[in-house]
Structure 1
Amino acid sequence: MAASLLASFVTLSCLFTVSFCFQTKRFSLPMAGRDWSPAGATWYGSPQGAGSDGGACGYGKAVEEAPFSAMISAGSPSIFESGKGCGSCYQVRCTTHKACSGKPVTVVIADFSCPVGVCYKEPAHFDFSGTAFGAMALPGMADELRHAGYLHIEYSRVACEYPGKTITFHVGTGSNPYYLAVVVEFEDGDGDLAAVDIKEGSGEWRPMRQSWGAVWRLDPESALHGPFSIQLTSKYSGKKLVANNVIPEGWKAGATYRSFVNYS
């Protein structure tokens, strides 16, 4: 009973704070658990900023807003995985500096970074937003921690959970009847994707190509009209999820369409 009440309290707290908070949960992935691995860490952008506007994953200004809330990071090749790591969530903590709190915080991979001189000398490297880097500090010591510039940290892969959010599809501004690009955001669980398929009306499923980061595209031989259903395949669990008719017949380039589904 106590555990149930605590879980309910945590859920309600997340829903009614100004920014949606990240929660972590157990999930049946190879990287699950509390096994911590070593990594290097730097930060970029403004001290209280979100690093950059979406960077190499294509999330744009969404990185500044809930549920990301600037708690994002760029990842080195082993983390970014040529864009397949976009949207994956990690707990990170630091203990090697006097300003470190030692408490884990959760970040989302939203960009690519390979700092000269450190990237390929480390098993993994995180280049945090100023906000995320400072979040690892003791209260009132975020600026002091950021002044360190570089840290040795520990990280652990965790599931993503976005209370109150469903998977969102943002249609690229250059899209037209002969080219359709979508940015996929807010997938619970794995957070990242192995494949995206699209179906026009009652037609057949067609695979989309990963254009870059979290952007997936279709280059059809004939004009597209919609509505479109989109099938997502998670990278680690392999689970498939279908958002039926999520992009309407009268779709527009630059528009965002929210589904009614998520992995949890």
Structure 2
Amino acid sequence: MSIFINNSRFINILLLILFVSNDSCLCMHSTVNVTATLNEGGFSPAVATWYGSPTGAGSGGACGLQNDVINAPYNGMISAGNGNLFRSGAGCGTCYMVKCIDNPACSGSPIHVTITDECPGLCNNEPFHFDLSGKAFGSLAKPGHEYQLRNAGRINIQYTRVRCHYRAHIAVKIDSGSNPYYLAMAVENVNGDGEIERIEILGEGLKSWGAMQRSWGETWKFNVPGGTSGPFSIRFTDRSSNSVVANELIPRNWIPGKTYYSRINFR
């Protein structure tokens, strides 16, 4: 009886060793560890500074959004980005969560910002540099410690790219230099990627969609062929190749400098 029990224990131990050394078991544990690492390591290091007035909304400058960043849905929570963030205008409209933890005035809580401008020159001394609006920079601080954090001027932060989710529809602001033969517009309030990869236009007199070209920042242009007029429908395609169409977004009698709001957006 005793010999039978010992043999059984030996067999059980042997089976356990074989099971632990089995590849499928190791893969299972590896998957759990990788998932945990991705969830915990979503933020990467960067540097942040701020510009403008201490509580100011910053600017839509190099992206062509002008002072629209003061209003909803941006509400001044914006940032200029260095070359790796701005990406010659392709980074306009991308959204990030940023947080700071190194400075005693930091709250450690992430805030949401949108790239709406470029920070050239010295900002490119680091791989990723966010030059935040005064309002956004102060929002990284503990309540009542905004001045202390702004006084630091330059801080280490952590950032991660996120999908944009505005409670707004895509809008286009017609460039003031537009005319019946040249139409340019800045694109605002883009959900999802926040990054427009392609824009096409269709108006009366056009037999098929015409491709617009990025002029600068988030401003796109189109040389209007003779005999073509509004209303113009616009098809937006983002970096993930998702497309949405704003039918007759720009009316026949469009006005330079005016903003036109669609009824669509990316999810």
Query: Is the TM-score greater than 0.5?
Result: yes
Structure 2: which 5+ residue stretches go unaligned? 1-37
Amino acid at match of 1:76: N
Amino acid at match of 1:121: N
Structure 1 residues 61-80: aligned runs within 5 Å: 61-80=67-86
Q: Which has the higher helix share?
A: 2
Structure 1 residues 97-136: aligned runs within 5 Å: 97-116=103-122, 119-136=123-140
CA apart distance, 1:103: 0.4
Query: What is the match of residue 50 of structure 1?
Result: 57
| Count of paired positions | 229
In structure 2, the CA distance between the partners of 1:105 and 1:34, relative to structure 1 (3 Å rule), is farther
In structure 2, the CA distance between the partners of 1:243 and 1:32, relative to structure 1 (3 Å rule), is farther
Residues 32 and 158, structure 1, Cα contact 8 Å, conserved in 2:
no
CA distance in 1, matches of 2:40, 2:209: 35
Structure 1 residues 50-199: aligned runs within 5 Å: 50-52=57-59, 54-116=60-122, 119-163=123-167, 165-199=168-202
Deviation per residue, 1:65-117 (Å, 9 max, x gap): 1111110000011110110111110000000100000000000000000342x
CA apart distance, 1:238: 1.3
CA distance in 2, matches of 1:245, 1:112: 32
CA distance in 2, matches of 1:203, 1:32: 49
CA distance in 1, matches of 2:139, 2:216: 29
CA apart distance, 1:51: 1.9
CA apart distance, 1:220: 2.8
In structure 2, the CA distance between the partners of 1:39 and 1:223, relative to structure 1 (3 Å rule), is farther
Structure 1: which 5+ residue stretches go unaligned? 1-30
Amino acid at match of 2:185: V
In structure 2, the CA distance between the partners of 1:141 and 1:157, relative to structure 1 (3 Å rule), is same
| Aligned partner of residue 160 in structure 1, secondary structure | coil
TM (normalized to structure 1)?
A: 0.83
Instruction: Decide which structure has the larger Cα Rg and report it.
Output: 2
TM (normalized to structure 2)?
A: 0.82
CA distance in 2, matches of 1:107, 1:41: 12
CA distance in 2, matches of 1:240, 1:87: 16
Higher relative CO (Cα under 8 Å, sequence separation at least 6) belongs to 1
Structure 1 residues 193-212: aligned runs within 5 Å: 193-201=196-204, 203-212=207-216
CA distance in 2, matches of 1:96, 1:200: 54
Structure 1: which 4+ aligned runs deviate by more than 3 Å?
Answer: 31-34
Amino acid at match of 1:181: A
Deviation per residue, 1:171-221 (Å, 9 max, x gap): 111111111001111011111111111111363101111011110000234
- Aligned-pair Cα RMSD in Å: 1.7
Task: Give the alignment partner of residue 224 of structure 2, picking from 214, 220, 224.
Answer: 220
Task: Give the alignment partner of residue 241 of structure 2, picking from 229, 238, 241.
Answer: 238
1:256 matched to 2:259? The reply is yes
| Aligned partner of residue 227 in structure 1, secondary structure | strand
